[in-house]
Structure 1
Amino acid sequence: MALHPEIARILGTLPPPPPGPLNPGAMRAGEAAQVPPLEDRLPLYSVEDATAATPTGDVPVRIYTPVDADAYGLLVYFHGGAFFLGSLDTHDHVARALAKETGHKVISVGYRLAPESAFPAGLEDCYGVVRWAAGHGESLNWDGKNLAIAGDSSGGTFVAAVAAKAHDDGFDAITHQVMFYPSLDLDFDEDRYPSMRENAVGYGLETAGLKPFNSFYLENGADPADPLVSPIKREDLTGLPAALVITGELDPLRDEGELYGQRLTVAGVPATVSRYAGAGHGFVQHFSWLPEYHRAFEETGAFLNAEIPNAEILNAEIPNAEILNAQAGR
């Protein structure tokens, strides 16, 4: 299927990237300039900024309460941005939509970014906030049931890594993990997955841009061979929380997300993989105003609120797992 016509139209209006190396400061300022004013954002019962005290320091969080109720499931959200972009503000609309469509209280994490903070600073912040949320259930009006984690792109990397880290630590409170087009293999070998070549050019995120965009992270202590950096390299996936993996048909990262979902299922973890047609990378952040892609939030709500998660593959023609495992270097 071709790129969604509205996405194609908007991508066609964007200027080419400036020459020379990436400038984090300038790129962050450009993102900040696109944040809509408060009055134009989705209204919720309450949105408040707070600080989570974690073992590695205080972490800024933003807490979204969808409606007035006695108790809520909790959803801790990690924004994307190739580990050096994104903020509580740039992904505020994502957190608001997640709160509205899931009915959960959402805690968005303002984790430390590369290159100013070396690995594993951002990961530690995300994990620390999850533990903080579980420990402050009473003040957060947690219903004691769902404690879910969700993230898009590099935030999806942190979701998989936090789920694994929690399991290894014996912290079993996490009930669900939701990954929107996650980056799960930071090797970036173009021949590793078919989607890296099939979707290399013309759909927004391009395969050639993966290495420079992630260089701020990889050059500051993050080793692609480490399963906490490239979660798909983790050998044992048993015992992890139920998963929803949402991918874009035209995303270079499509196949690694879908392989991860397959491997979770093989390991006995209830996992749903859902591929969105006509979508490239970043469609939840940038194009969820289109009804076809707003459905990702509704699907997340259905997943979190189901009594028993189902394992299934939706709308995806996923290559044979053995082939992809070989391509992933397994």
Structure 2
Amino acid sequence: MTPALEVRDLRVQIGSAEIVGGVSWAVEPGQTLGIVGESGSGKSMSVLAAAGLIGPPTARVSGQVLLADDDGGGGPRDLLTLSPEALRRVRGRGIGFVFQDPATSLNPVLTVERQLTEGLEEHLGMTRRAASSRAVELLELVGIPDPTRRLRSYPHELSGGMRQRVMIAIALACDPQVLIADEATTALDVTIQAQILDAVRGLQERLGTATVWISHDLAVVGGLADEVAVMYGGQILEQADVLTLYRERAHPYTEGLFAARPRLGSRDDVLATIPGSPPDPRHLPPGCVFYDRCTVRHDERCASERPELRPLTPGHLVRSFYASSRQEQS
């Protein structure tokens, strides 16, 4: 199947720092790719660059970002080669984006209704009345009570969780080919979080929407994603289908992330942590980017030579010289 969105050797450089260093992944229609990693690992920067939301003069972006032709009349379009006007047409209809901070993403001087209907009128050609009716349906979809009244609200009149739900509704409004969600449910309680995840799954089943889900929450990613990419230092350190990664993870960094999860039934007072901090992108180590924090590093080769992302087993990629899959101990 042709991917809905494919990223090839994506690199993002800001000044002398390479924030994203040669990332490649693909997500097919109806599938979900989860991207996990600590803050500063390059997750958000990679998808912002892929969607054309960061570029010159702020950053230098290279590689390919191929979005499938939604009309079926031609091959995929490389978003990095499109003009600003062509990119504007792609956003909304081709790609819906849920940003991490709704307080800074929503326009404070426009009502919720106007922010929801603008894309419907622009991209789908709806009348103002039809767009308003669709806006009510979208607010109901994301679990906002009394949606007709809330359409007249301004962002400052809503709670943080409700603002986040409005952002998700805007991203879903035009039934995009690809939905990119950056920590989309972090500010929501678990009940609303479950409703949002169900809405995303329903959209995927109904329209074949591909989803890229960025999260720190391994439980959310495990319940939603088909494939997971683990990022650190601007690189993918491990990538596999969700069951393989959760049961047979092979990279020490991935193992560290899983060890830090709270576990039901555990009485430990202190969660496990990964010692140290993520590397400064201006001063990445010459070898493995995880070398300084790795607890199982082997020899000088790890310190001086950068490993490539290679297949450990079919479909299971690991960036390590000495990786071997380990079965999860329950």
RCO (CA 8 Å, sep 6+): is it higher in 1 or 2? 2
TM-score (norm 2): 0.29
TM-score (norm 1): 0.29
